[in-house]
Structure 1
Amino acid sequence: MPRLLHLADLHLGWRPRDLDDARANSRRARRDALLEHAVDTALAEHVDAVVIAGDLFETFDPDGALVERTLLQLERLRDAGVHVVGVPGNHDELTYPTSVYRSLVERWPGLLVTSPTPTKVGTLDVHGEPLHVYGLAYVGGVTDVRTATRDLPAPAGDGTHIFVAHGTLMAPGVSSAASERSLPLDRDALAAAGYDYVALGHVHAPAIHRLGATLAVYPGCVGGKGLDDLGSRHWTIVDLERGSADVREVAAPVQPLRHVTLDVTAMAGRQAIDDAIASLADEAALVRVRLVGALPTTLDLAALTERARGDFFHLEIRDETTAVSEALLDAWAAVPTVRGSFVRRMRRRLDTAADDAERARITRALLHGIDALQERV
């Protein structure tokens, strides 16, 4: 039973543009170290092969020092008897004359998919049993994306059979991707081919698709590239048998990226909002806080962010609150609507409140009610 570590979209060498130099360099170094962690995981999990389904690098022409560090890690696998299978992606594309993979053909410590059309790449020996590898690499001007994955080599012979590609698995009834560099993959053809496993890259969100009896898997971008790309946060381990594949996750040591929503309606003033954000503090994390609800005044978002910034590696605050001023309440109260009736009733309760504590409770109830009614008017 072959065991695989399925990787894709590591994007080694990527550097964020929205951070200062020190933090951007720190982010890059931490993400670039993920390959070493992946190799450590492969060895600890006793995998037989590591399959890298494209975009190992952020660019087709990464700096030489990064390439050498990458090769050292891949050679650790080879030296431990672990097979290495790779295919170029759309960031580190094979198309260009200076593509890193053109210079690595002779140095790649395993099987490297370079054929612009689907083909059998080779056969690996796994404990005396054959593991057959098929795939293709998109090459601009050569790969005909209209037909590239409609005519696939049929699995033949004993052992297990995997197909490797970096592209977009098309939805049923859809035949073309937004860009040919995204390499549209025909799901019906892949299902009909009958591979034991289809190892894909390109889609950063992890996903498992069943194509007939075959699993087609995107492991995702393990270490997300930002707050709009949170990453999978796990490695994908696959145990293969003829006709079946078992997929499981192993946690990866990635830098935390988080989305948090805070309803500030019941919060009494600026300090309460500051305290709520401070409770999320994590100097290692990149965090996006979305503020929702209703407030009696507008927020000074820049000042709020500045006060909290030091508690995070990176902090982004989005203000989606509704500012409910007295003038706005007057306007709503004057209109014969559900909201207007609610405002008039709550104002009468405010007028008869026994003390400040009761007035504060009624005010919070008013704001909660306004927030709940926002989508109904």
Structure 2
Amino acid sequence: MFRILHLADLHLGWEPRFMAPDRAAERRRRRDRLLARAVDYALEASHQVGLVLIAGDLFETHRPPESLVQEVIGQLRRLEAAGVPVVTVPGNHDEITYHDSVYRRFAAAWPGVLVQNPLPEPVATLAVAGFPVHIYSLAYTGGVTPAGSPLTAFPRLDEPGLHVAVFHGTLGHWGGDRSLPLDREALARAGYDYVALGHIHQALEERLGRTPAVYAGAVEGKGFDDPGTGAFTLVEVEPGRGVVAVRREPVPVQPVETLRIDAGTFGSAAELGSYLASLAAPDRILRLELHGTPAFAVDGPALQAEHATRFFHLEIHDATEPVSWDDLLQWSREPTITGLFVRRLLDQLEGETEPRRRRVVERALRLGVQALMREGQAR
């Protein structure tokens, strides 16, 4: 048995502009170690990695800094020196179309197989653990690669061995502009043993007939709406049986999280602040979304300023709708549906002595008033 390490969408060189400059530079430095970590993993003998596939967007741009390019070439040479073949496919961020693309400027020095053909072709037959692996791919090239409708012509050699296609594109029309759509039925008819995909940053898998078509996803994402998978994608191959499993190997990454919190469950601003302090970690990148109807005013900017240094990066989005006691008392005097509702719950609240039940009634009171106001039934 051997394993294929399927990578995609590393986006080396990306820098988070939503962070303070010093934190953005540090975040970039950490993310740019992704390839080195993947190579370290592949070269660990116990992991049995015999082939590495990079399914597009290795870089954030087609013109990455030369220092980064040299670092990447050095890492790929480590694989080459260890006898682990590597296949690199350009993506849409690091597109080969441009005359100054990294893949045109450094093609002669690029380790392993660098895909440069604009149409699907057999690009290499590699010996992996003494077993032939046939690679099929293309590098999207503007003005040459058809992009108006899904590609349907996928060649396959009539040769023994494992047949693996590698594309930076989308199944069907999913993905919008520059997504290189691929026809599902045509890929199924081609009869590949595995289709390695990039471009979609989630970890997804689909069966095209008997063929597994797999998005590796971005190991470490770019932000709150793209947090990354936190895993390497490994394809297990048994000669004579082909692909027997696809699994995700967890990888330690810097946590990027979004938490949606109901501020109405806290009794005071101090309680909310204490909860936020309990979430703190120096490497954590957190977006806290506050909603609900608390009995106190939430000062999002002040909370963020107070706690920001406890996190690598913190954002607080305040969407709460507080209802004060003065508001409630004023509504209770009105001859309206809202007034009747408020009076009844205030009466119930007055008779409650158990703290937990009082909190429930208070919350119901505020939520009810907010609902009535939204429905325009307060008058």
- Settle same-fold status: TM greater than 0.5: yes
Aligned to 2:183: 186
Aligned to 1:68: 70
- Aligned equivalents of 1:126 and 1:374: distance in 2? 65
Task: Say if 1:215 and 1:245, in contact at 8 Å, map to a contact too.
Answer: no
Shift of 1:105: 1.9
Aligned to 1:316: 315
Percent of aligned pairs with the same amino acid:
46
Q: SS where residue 265 of structure 2 aligns?
A: coil
The residue type paired with residue 347 of structure 1 is L
Distance 1:335 1:204, change over 3 A: farther
Structure 1 segments unaligned to the other structure (5+ residues)? none
Distance 1:194 1:243, change over 3 A: farther
Aligned to 1:39: 39
The residue type paired with residue 309 of structure 1 is A
Distance 1:190 1:375, change over 3 A: farther
Shift of 1:186: 1.0
Distance 1:269 1:106, change over 3 A: same
- Aligned equivalents of 2:63 and 2:205: distance in 1? 31
Aligned to 1:110: 112
Find the partner of 1:205 among 202, 215, 237. 202
Shift of 1:264: 2.3
Q: Which aligned segments of 4 or more residues in structure 1 are displaced greater than 3 angstroms?
A: 241-245, 326-337, 339-342, 350-354, 368-377
Shift of 1:217: 0.7
Distance 1:332 1:99, change over 3 A: farther
Q: Give yes or no for the alignment of 1:365 onto 2:361.
A: yes
Two-structure CA RMSD over aligned residues (Å): 2.3
Q: SS where residue 18 of structure 1 aligns?
A: coil
Q: Give yes or no for the alignment of 1:293 onto 2:289.
A: no
- How many residue pairs get aligned? The number is 368
Distance 1:340 1:118, change over 3 A: farther
Structure 2 segments unaligned to the other structure (5+ residues)? none
Task: Say if 1:213 and 1:243, in contact at 8 Å, map to a contact too.
Answer: no
- Aligned equivalents of 1:176 and 1:19: distance in 2? 30
Shift of 1:255: 0.9
Shift of 1:154: 2.3
The residue type paired with residue 176 of structure 2 is A
Shift of 1:245: 4.1
Task: Say if 2:125 and 2:135, in contact at 8 Å, map to a contact too.
Answer: yes
- Aligned equivalents of 1:279 and 1:16: distance in 2? 25
Task: Say if 1:205 and 1:218, in contact at 8 Å, map to a contact too.
Answer: yes
Provide Cα deviations, 1:93-126, integer angstroms capped at 9, x if missing partner: 0000000001222112111111111100010011
- Aligned equivalents of 2:347 and 2:132: distance in 1? 81
Aligned to 2:221: 224
Q: SS where residue 190 of structure 1 aligns?
A: helix
Distance 1:332 1:352, change over 3 A: closer
Shift of 1:160: 0.4
Provide Cα deviations, 1:114-150, integer angstroms capped at 9, x if missing partner: 1111100010011222100001111001111245620
Shift of 1:205: 1.1
The residue type paired with residue 189 of structure 1 is A
Provide Cα deviations, 1:45-96, integer angstroms capped at 9, x if missing partner: 1211100000000110111110000111111111111000010000000000
Q: SS where residue 235 of structure 1 aligns?
A: strand
The residue type paired with residue 367 of structure 1 is R
